[in-house]
A and B are shown apart, each in its own frame.
Chain A
């Protein structure tokens, strides 16, 4: 066996110990791994955050730049334009943009886009920042996410109503858009509560419709009975109150505006899109409230003989001061035939039966019956000056007291005819001139002087000692009378009467012989006649006052000029009368008469002649009553004079400060002055601050 073992140790295959991969790897590899992770993460995030691409088609995209123009929503950037290009056919410009992902779901069918550019209008300047920063695209959409869209059509001008703005959109209709422009304010009691959108022709081209947005909470003020009227520009109106110049805000002066008010309560609440009419003025709007367009209208004709200059279509028809309709037509018609033919001016009146007090659903026939009944009782039509400055007329249906009998002619012509009466047309110039001339001609100074003189005289009369003595004399007289009645002699009368009678018998008997009775009779007769004279004299006193009364009544009834002169002369006469010696002597003679009476009574008492004592007392009583009457009429006389003066004063005063004409003239002048002041203030304000024209303040 040649099995030789190996001669030496087997060669060793020595290899270095394999170090683990992890140990061989340098720690520095972490750096590129982190860099890669960060880069990949950033790339992925920027890809996933990439906005949604939308396309907006504009007619005019002036200033829109790719990569620079932003899309903003409520002034916050939500996207950026990426590309701008024309579509096929070059008709529109397509703006491609990316909007933020969280915004994209809200871009549904209601989303609107427009390019914001600088806009200088009367209400101010908007978008001024875009002058420097370039234009941007503004978006407007509501906050409910619907089916998202990516293709939109841009608007040519900004929408005024932003989504989620609380308020109500209504539709206004007007004859023309001459006074309204987009953005014009909607006012309510002077507050700006909304604005108008772009006016558009209505579907048949007969008028203009414009959407108006009324902000909450003012939209609650609008009900179905709300009326809108035009407040654009300024209005000058000549009315009974004078000249009125109404100027609203400068913006509404140029852009127009619409004001509304809910004049009567009880309207129904409105919904979005409710339609209203714009009336030409506040007055028309207010009047329209009382006119139900669906109500029946009674048409009657009125034939005027005089010229109807100043009467226009639309003029009021008034009945007892209330407007019951309007003049709808004015024309000339021929009345009669042959030689008797003459031209009359016919005015057709549209009368609202409801305004006659017949209730809301009154028919024209009911109104006709009522009117013909009135005509039989004297209702006549006439023209009345409505405004003395402008000379405008209206038709009045007035009740004429002494009207000739007439009936409403139903057969002649197309309409029943209301008979006319003389019109009450005043020519302002002539009237005013005449009034002024007459005021000038009034002897106001003399009248006043006369009144003052009269008052002086009355005062003197009342103050005179004689007048003051009258009451005391009367008291003395009454005392005398009481004394007489209470005297023992008189009380002894019954006792003595018998003896007297007996004596009388004797006297009568002896008188028969002597003429004693006759002479006593004479004495008594003289006394009685004296008392009678006094009575007559005192009775004349009331008659004088009665005459003065008559005189003053006449004075009251006199014509104006005559009144003033006769009042003056009356005052003179009264003055003369009061100042005359006779009048002054009156109390004196009254006293004398009383003295005489007293003397007579004393004589009587002394004479013991009681036979005619009853008649005597009665006469004395009558005399005393007459005196009393005379005295009692004195205050009445002065009161009468006072009334006269007061009436004179009224006459004078009616031409003085408080007269209506004067007040109106003054008010007119004052308002013209105020208007002039306002215009000059406006001019001054604009001169001082010309850019207020731009800023609207």
Chain B
């Protein structure tokens, strides 16, 4: 039995339960919706936008480092390889995980959730819900790369001796993270359980 079948709708913001035909939450005034009909569309739209933004984030330089003697542009993967070359495996791993594994994992996870909901799959509903929670939680931490670039750019501005400037990839990466977060947010987790009900009703 779900809230919908009981003629109720819960506010996604504060949790207050209303009659199903109530338009706005009496407590927090946010719009109430028993099921978001366009949820999956939004998920796909944001997800595609995030994937598109993720391409330049990897092909264009993330950091423009110019020192007195040198001037280098490093992409994300280039930077990771450089770090490995220097022997800093740990840092390389952190960067690789934060910049590549997590975003790509999020794309995959969201895609999996969206497809499974579309197909009306009822398997492993608990696991999928947990995956959704993880994606939502981890989303904000993906910005760590962008923050590093922003802080470095602000700190290392020593005129001609050494300067670090953000590259196009930094903006693209930030957009990609934002789009992915929006995609995750657009996903209505209640849809996971709707499939289950369809089968059992």
- Residue numbers of A with Cβ under 8 A of B are 24-26, 28-29, 31-32, 34-36, 39, 42, 68, 132-134
Contacts and interface: CB of A to CB of B under 8 A. Distances in A.
B39 to A, nearest CB: 9
Contact of B41 (A29, A132, A133): A29
A28 B69 contact: no
Contact of A132 (B42, B46, B48, B69): B69
Interface in B23-62: 38, 41-42, 45-46, 48-49, 52-53, 55-56
B186 interface: yes
A3 to B, nearest CB: 43
A34 B50 CA distance: 12
A31 B178 CA distance: 12
A31 B41 CA distance: 12
A35 B186 CA distance: 18
B126 to A, nearest CB: 28
Given A25-B41, A28-B42, A28-B45, A35 B52 contact: yes
A566 B144 CA distance: 120
B69 A32 contact: no
Contacts of B52: 32, 35-36, 39
- Interface centre among A31, A34, A35, A39, by most B CB within 10 Å? A35
B71 interface: yes
B38 to A, nearest CB: 4
Given A25-B41, A26-B38, A132-B69, A32 B56 contact: no
Nearest to B175: A35
Nearest to B186: A28
B53 A35 contact: yes
Contacts of A31: 45-46, 49, 179
A538 to B, nearest CB: 111
Given A39-B55, A39-B56, 9 more contacts: A24-B41, A28-B186, A32-B46, A32-B48, A32-B52, A34-B49, A36-B52, A39-B53, A133-B68
B27 to A, nearest CB: 27
Given A26-B38, A39-B52, A39-B56, A32 B45 contact: yes
B70 interface: yes
Interface of B: 38, 41-42, 45-46, 48-49, 52-53, 55-56, 68-71, 175, 179, 186
B45 A29 contact: yes
A303 B66 CA distance: 83
B181 to A, nearest CB: 13
A25 B71 CA distance: 47
Contact of B56 (A29, A42, A68): A42
Contacts of B53: 35, 39
Contacts of A35: 48-49, 52-53, 175, 179
Contacts of B45: 26, 28-29, 31-32
A39 B52 CA distance: 7
Contacts of A134: 69-70
A32 B48 CA distance: 6
A32 to B, nearest CB: 4
B70 A68 contact: yes
**Main SS at interface, chain B:** helix
Nearest to A31: B49
Contact of A68 (B49, B68, B71, B179): B71
A31 B180 CA distance: 12
Contacts of A42: 56
The 6 closest A-B pairs by CB, nearest first: A32-B49, A32-B48, A26-B38, A26-B41, A35-B52, A28-B45
Contact of A26 (B42, B48, B68, B179): B42
A108 B56 CA distance: 36
A25 B46 CA distance: 13
B149 to A, nearest CB: 19
Nearest to A19: B37
Contacts of B41: 24-26, 28-29
Contact of A28 (B46, B71, B175): B46
A25 B49 CA distance: 16
A28 B68 CA distance: 46
Nearest to A46: B60
Contacts of B38: 24, 26, 28
B60 to A, nearest CB: 9
A38 to B, nearest CB: 8
Nearest to A43: B56
Contacts of A34: 49
Contacts of A39: 52-53, 55-56
20 contacts: A24-B41, A25-B41, A26-B38, A28-B38, A28-B42, A28-B46, A29-B45, A31-B45, A31-B49, A31-B179, A32-B46, A32-B48, A32-B52, A35-B49, A35-B179, A39-B55, A132-B68, A133-B68, A133-B69, A134-B70
A524 to B, nearest CB: 131
A621 B161 CA distance: 119
A134 B67 CA distance: 12
Contacts of B175: 35
A42 B186 CA distance: 28
Contacts of B68: 132-133
A80 to B, nearest CB: 11
A134 B70 CA distance: 8
Nearest to A65: B70
A320 to B, nearest CB: 73
Contacts of B56: 39, 42
A39 B42 CA distance: 20
Nearest to B72: A68
Contacts of B179: 31, 35
A287 B42 CA distance: 97
Contacts of B55: 39
Nearest to B39: A26
Nearest to B176: A35
A35 B174 CA distance: 13
A231 to B, nearest CB: 41
A35 B178 CA distance: 13
A133 B48 CA distance: 42
Contacts of A26: 38, 41-42, 45
Nearest to A134: B69
B112 to A, nearest CB: 19
Contacts of A32: 45-46, 48-49, 52
A408 to B, nearest CB: 82
A294 to B, nearest CB: 62
A668 B61 CA distance: 76
Contacts of A68: 70-71
Contacts of B71: 68
A133 B161 CA distance: 11
B184 to A, nearest CB: 14
Nearest to A37: B52
Contacts of B48: 32, 35-36
A392 B60 CA distance: 81
B95 to A, nearest CB: 22
A42 B46 CA distance: 20
